[in-house]
Amino acid sequence: MEHCDIHTTLEHAGLSKTSRRVAVLTVLVHAQTPLRVKDILDRVCGEGQINKVTVYRILASFKAEGIIREIATDHGVNFYEMACRHNPTHPHFYCRICRSLSCLPEQVIRESRFEHLLTGNQTVDGITLNLTGVCGTCNLIKDGHRRSKQ
């Protein structure tokens, strides 16, 4: 899979290439799913000094520069993913039982033609579409429980 170049991304965003920023961005670029701060901390290696506060601060600077997007959930735990040409805006599905977040295909947003809803001189530079429910794994577990009670 193609990835953004870490150093070029930081350069374009006008952020200095500190070892911590490079470490956090490396984790995000290689992630297959959106990550929580906890996941990022688990994956950042060789940076013994990095703590939660530092990760939050780095994520805030990445978000402000449009490098990453933040996906908020009902439980107050946010997820982060790259906001680059390899990963265009798309909807997410959040399971309220196991609290996992998965990415849904971007064509839903492309085909929705949200611009038709706009009146006057409005322009759109971001769309957030998040679905909440119960994931397949949790539904299987629920079904299992139901069956064992019968």
Q: Is 98 in the site for Zn ion (CB under 5 A)?
A: yes
For residue 7, the SS3 value is: helix
Give the integer Cα–Cα distance in Å for 130 and 103.
Answer: 9
Least distance in angstroms from the C-beta of 75 to Zn ion: 13
Q: Which of 38, 52, 86, 142 binds Zn ion (CB under 5 A)?
A: 86
Residue indicated by tokens 């990095």: 50
Q: Which of 97, 108, 118, 129 binds Zn ion (CB under 5 A)?
A: 97
Sign of CA dihedral 74, 76, 77, 79: positive
Q: Is 72 in the site for Zn ion (CB under 5 A)?
A: no
**Interface with Zn ion (CB under 5 A):** 4, 81, 84, 86, 95, 97-98, 103, 135, 138
